[in-house]
Structure 1
């Protein structure tokens, strides 16, 4: 219920979004959904990244955007490739390690706008992308001040193993059906690379990652994809103050997704594990949920 109620029954109102299409160097595109605070020419921006099969209109995305907007922050919600309602142009799509796309978006924002205080918040898969981006050793812009990862699967295979358990059967099937539907759309465009029979044969998330996700993004198979893209291995290198908020009752996360040792060793990493919250839930009996309160507090007063 910690996961299902907030994600299926919450209705966030009062967020007005404006879409911007960012053309990428490889010929593809990513759509950003902007929402603004009442502060004229705010210099504070949060870039928000959704989770698996999400988009900029998911309630958890809108809830955070609304809370930020009400407190003087603009927000830019990234719709990862193939997640904005239009099939992307290239065979590749998005994946849990697509930090290069986040890098492109950050650079676009820095060269197009005048924000001096940029924070990043990633939910679930988006949190893994963000942490990987921060810890890969690239030179980060001084405008990036803080970051928050909510319900993040720091070890992708560990999380997959947890999702495969009977308690998550409904969610697992929902993810599989959504991903296969997108693959069927992609097959029409790339029939020489992907066949309907191959898609039909996929019975699990790992099957999909072996057939498509890994191959389309340059990995040999699903296990190599999980190994190279899991953010846990990059946490020790993060230099931007970063919050990881993973609830203890998150049914999608195994033990390896709670990086206690890395947080102890890295003074820039703040791991918080409340007893409740589910997966991207964190319900509170009012308009603002706990993860939204905590994220804004961390961005404005990092510990």
Structure 2
């Protein structure tokens, strides 16, 4: 029964017990310097590319960081996490989904929650460098990509464990929650950024992307129905949500993975806390702190977050399952 009933994250400051304050501070106000990365342009088999930022420390042990929706390798949460694991001796690889990281990709394809082929290209690149232990951390959409990767593909034995932070394991529920109350502010910010990219793509590929439909976007309903689904081979928005929601593949995971989803996360719906499914798994662990917001989890008197320290702890103990239950 790998549901962690008592989270160690119990005592954030009074201000950080407000879900929106924690979320907005972590995303918009907090700053963390970008590590001194090297960057590699990784060519993909379909003729496109993605960019990977990396730091080499331990030649045998690496962590791969997966960013969230409309994020990139150099978002504050990624910078903080990279710094934490670099200080622990890990080599760090922070990758950018197509269209992310400051350089537009070549093809009409964008990115989505089920883009495990691109994530696998990153993983194979890291493994080919000779690393013997590879760990993975995903934030929000990146956490969904990680869970789908673990649930859909057979894992190389060198991939030891993963941690997913603020991961919407049921996409349709999360999309609905973002239409409610103050959450509309987050939705608006996402759609503004997505619309900019779609307009750019419409100029590049007018035969693939209908400019008139871009003006109809008011939520993820339109984004996913008009663009995400058809551009990536899904019959409809509903099929897309069904196929890329990790809720439906968690039972297939056989590599230790920890999901840390705060109960006050404004991005997560009720089906994003899959306790019933996790209780029947020997590999998927679910921790649901009362507080933490979305990709926040601030700690008192620390520049790093609870999510980073907890990920490191999980990686060090992932072979000892009883420790977590």
Q: Does 1:132 align with 2:152?
A: no
Q: Does 1:251 align with 2:233?
A: no
Instruction: Name 2:28's counterpart in structure 1.
Output: 8
Deviation at 1:298, TM superposition (A): 0.7
Instruction: Name 1:77's counterpart in structure 2.
Output: 94
Distance 1:14 1:127, change over 3 A: closer
Deviation at 1:297, TM superposition (A): 0.8
Secondary structure in 2 aligned to 1:126?
A: helix
Query: Scaled by the length of structure 2, what TM-score is found?
Result: 0.89
Q: Does 1:115 align with 2:144?
A: no
Deviation at 1:108, TM superposition (A): 2.1
Match of 1:62 among 79, 85, 95: 79
Secondary structure in 2 aligned to 1:3?
A: helix
Q: Matched residues in 2 for 1:16 and 1:262: separation?
A: 40
Secondary structure in 2 aligned to 1:146?
A: strand
Q: Matched residues in 2 for 1:130 and 1:14: separation?
A: 23
Tell me if structure 2 keeps the 8 A contact 1:42–1:72: no
Q: Matched residues in 2 for 1:126 and 1:211: separation?
A: 22
Match of 1:182 among 184, 197, 220: 197
Secondary structure in 2 aligned to 1:48?
A: strand
Instruction: Name 2:44's counterpart in structure 1.
Output: 24
Secondary structure in 2 aligned to 1:147?
A: strand
Tell me if structure 2 keeps the 8 A contact 1:152–1:246: yes
Deviation at 1:14, TM superposition (A): 6.2
Q: Matched residues in 2 for 1:36 and 1:65: separation?
A: 11
Match of 2:219 among 194, 200, 204: 204
- Structure 2 residue runs of 5 or longer lacking an equivalent are 1-20
Query: Scaled by the length of structure 1, what TM-score is found?
Result: 0.96
Deviation at 1:13, TM superposition (A): 2.4
Deviation at 1:36, TM superposition (A): 3.6
Q: Pick 1 or 2: higher relative contact order, CA cutoff 8 A, min separation 6.
A: 2
Deviations 1:231-263 (A, max 9, x none): 111111111110000001001101100010121
Secondary structure in 2 aligned to 1:166?
A: coil
- State which drifts further: 7-16 or 125-134: 7-16
